[in-house]
Structure 1
Amino acid sequence: MPERIVISNPNKTIDPTAQITPMITVVIENTSALIDLKNTSKIIEATISARIMNI
């Protein structure tokens, strides 16, 4: 299974310098939206914080 980032805090900012691995799945709580980052190389701007689960 790919690593999952659970985004739950709308008051923080994701560090744009953080390394994102190719097979990450992002789960946005309260919307159940899944974002596949496998085929994108652009920096995602967001005003949310992410905590990495299942390290």
Structure 2
Amino acid sequence: MMLMIIGEKHHDKLPQTLVQQLIRDLYSEVYNCNPDDSIFNWIADIKHDINLVS
């Protein structure tokens, strides 16, 4: 599975909290997981904003 988000500008970034929520929502929908499942523990390891590709 790949989540691709494209920014309008080369320097656009997504805040880490938004990235964590997007991944959690995507997994919940695609894999029908409960958002509190242990599969989501690794999401907390995302510590930086994510650069977007333009």
Q: Same fold (TM over 0.5)?
A: no
| TM-score, structure 1 normalization | 0.32
| TM-score, structure 2 normalization | 0.32
Q: Which has the higher contact order (CA 8 A, sep 6+)?
A: 2
Q: Is the helix fraction higher in 1 or 2?
A: 2
